[in-house]
Amino acid sequence: MSLQQLISQIGPLDKQAMSAARSRQDMLTKPQGSLGRLEALSIQVAGITGTPRPRIEQKVIVTMAGDHGVVAEGVSAYPQEVTPQMVYNFLAGGAAINVLSRYVGARVVVVDMGVAAEMEPHPKLVDKKVASGTANMVAGPAMGRAQAIESLESGASVVENELARGLDILGTGDMGIGNTTPSAAVACALTGRPAADVVGRGTGVDDAGLARKAAVVEKALAVNRPDPDDALDVLAKVGGFEIGGLAGAMLAAAAHRRPVVVDGFISTAAAMIAVGLAPQIRPYLIAAHRSQEQGHRIMLDWLDLKPLLDLDLRLGEGTGAALGIALTEAACRILDEMATFGEAGVSEGEESL
């Protein structure tokens, strides 16, 4: 499906389903509103899915990997070789995302969007490689506009394939040494905030490394001058293949009325690209957490998303999304499985509880 077809299929939330879900929440055996944001979350999912009592059974976390030419500027505490090494770790089931996905009952789909290495064929590795890493964005665009579109449409195709297998909720994750730098650049381009406000320590760079990252982001923005009113231009000039892939995955999930649980800093940059392309996707997004990256709060505020958790996470991979999926499922189970006052034979009113 083309990018424009995807965007055209994303409609508003189902108000009737939300109204029915809200009415049921108000009849459950508890004081109205006493489960706080879990109630609101279940109503949101009802609107997304068009189902007054949504059930989340098939949980999928898509972890997309890509490399970045900007690592040549010394923006990461880890070498680029770690990207393919961690992809193999994902495939072997040994990473944090694998542990948390097993815990919440989600399947992990690992995608090579642009790893700068020739990956060995593996039955669990989805090959959507656009190129072997992006170009160095301080010297010019990270990718061509056609490559940006390819990354978006390839990411969408991953979700289309998973829908055929069963997908009730999508979690997003990433892997790519250096990818907090293009993510910060995307955020700066779209929010207009200076790099010093957005750039964080990523994999753990020291003070000198932090200053270098901020300077690299400012230089990339000055060289490329991405248009904040054209999200595709922002992606092409200062983004990454996995960022584009995740944005495309989000668009596809929304087009098929599936909730999207957004992980941390990199996934949120992808969400910003997705919203820039299709503003109507915003209510389909659920922010799993606020990460330790200093700019993440700015990005979430721009998206008008309130995170479910704040655990000082900064790993990526989809780890926060896994926890967010668990909370979203819990919210929907309460709506669907909890008894109403009438069903339980309990008198309504707070004084009876």
What are the tens digits of pLDDT across the range 266-306? 999 999 999 999 999 999 999 999 999 999 999 999 999 99
Question: Catalytic amino acids?
Answer: 317
Query: For 123-164, what is each residue's pLDDT tens digit?
Result: 999 999 999 999 999 999 999 999 999 999 999 999 999 999
pLDDT band at 353 (very low <50, low <70, confident <90, very high): very low
Q: In this structure, are 257 and 347 located in the same domain?
A: no
Residue 62 CB burial class (10 angstroms; 0-12, 13-18, ≥19): buried
Q: Is 38 in the same domain as 70?
A: no
Residue 150 sits in a domain of what CATH number?
A: 3.40.50.10210
Tens digit of each residue's pLDDT (9 = 90 or more) over 50-75: 999 999 999 999 999 999 999 999 89
Structure tokens at 31: 């004081």
25 and 114 in a common domain? no
Same domain as 135, residue 72: yes
Count of the separate structural domains present in the chain:
2
149 and 205 co-located in one domain: yes
128 contacts 157 by C-beta, under 8 angstroms: yes
Residues 41 and 93 in one domain: no
Residues 20 and 44 in one domain: yes
**Statement to judge: residues 259 and 130 lie in one domain:** yes
Looking at the fold, whether 340 and 230 belong to one and the same domain comes out as no
83 and 121 inside one domain: yes
Element (H, E) at 242: helix 241-255
Residue 50 belongs to domain with CATH number: 1.10.1610.10
Q: Determine contact, residues 293/181, Cβ cutoff 8 Å.
A: no
| Whether 132 and 262 share a structural domain | yes
**262, pLDDT greater than 90:** yes
Domain of residue 234: give its range: 59-328
The answer on 293 and 225 residing in a single domain is: yes
With beta carbons less than 8 A apart as the criterion, state whether 160 and 170 touch. no
As a whole-number percent, the residues of the chain with pLDDT over 70 amount to 99
Mind spelling out the 3-state secondary structure of 166-229?
A: CCCEEEEEEECCCCHHHHHHHHHHHHCCCHHHHCCCCCCCCHHHHHHHHHHHHHHHHHHCCCCC
